[in-house]
Structure 1
């Protein structure tokens, strides 16, 4: 299931986008991964993974950030219904993004967070 994608950094995978439970057409998956990568690269400030099935991300950006995160989260939930995203905006431009998955999909969350961590490391 894990497939390298051209343009990905060495060692990165589409694992979280290639699970059988995903209904997004295969051709659209690299585009979705790119959307998450862009969100992580431009806005991610911290990651707290409290369990195999839960992570809390802090994002900062412009006044459109919450809308952007909601749109992307809703699109992802539409094709991968096992994801639960909870978004709050404690103040304009500061977004809390909680991600939950059932235990059967903990590996998918891990793969998504691997991409997020890579983006965070590249930004420092």
Structure 2
């Protein structure tokens, strides 16, 4: 089966996601809260690579690691990576294969909307 024809629902959640449909709005709300509380900057490094610059607090890292671990368990096409450019900042890299660029696009839009209050 080719992954070139990926379909998504109205929230941009692809069919490849195994999170039960009833739980998806809750997960999206968690991401929205995370984006509002923790994201300090958004860098789209390529079509398949997003970097979120986060508040460097320990509780932010704990929240980000928990959320990304749960997301990886149902949407295995995501690759998440963390780095600390300095002691006061934290970066979260989000990568997707080419077939899921539309999902990363939707994630960027949610992050931007959450940060601007739209």
Q: TM-score, normalised by structure 1?
A: 0.82
Gaps of 5+ in 1: 4-13
Kindly state the Cα deviation for residue 47 of structure 1 after the two structures are TM-superposed: 0.6
Deviations 1:19-40 (A, max 9, x none): 1100000001011101110000
Gaps of 5+ in 2: 1-7
- Which of structure 1's runs of 4+ aligned residues deviate more than 3 A? 89-93
Which of 102, 105, 121 does residue 100 from structure 2 map onto?
105
- CA distance in 2 between partners of 1:76 and 1:92 (Å): 26
Compute the RMSD of aligned alpha carbons.
1.7
After TM superposition, the structure 1 = structure 2 runs for residues 1-124 of structure 1, keeping only pairs within 5 Å, are: 1-3=8-10, 14-15=11-12, 18-60=13-55, 62-91=57-86, 94-122=89-117
User: 2:4 maps to which residue?
Assistant: none
* Secondary structure at 2:105 match in 1: helix
- CA distance in 2 between partners of 1:92 and 1:39 (Å): 20
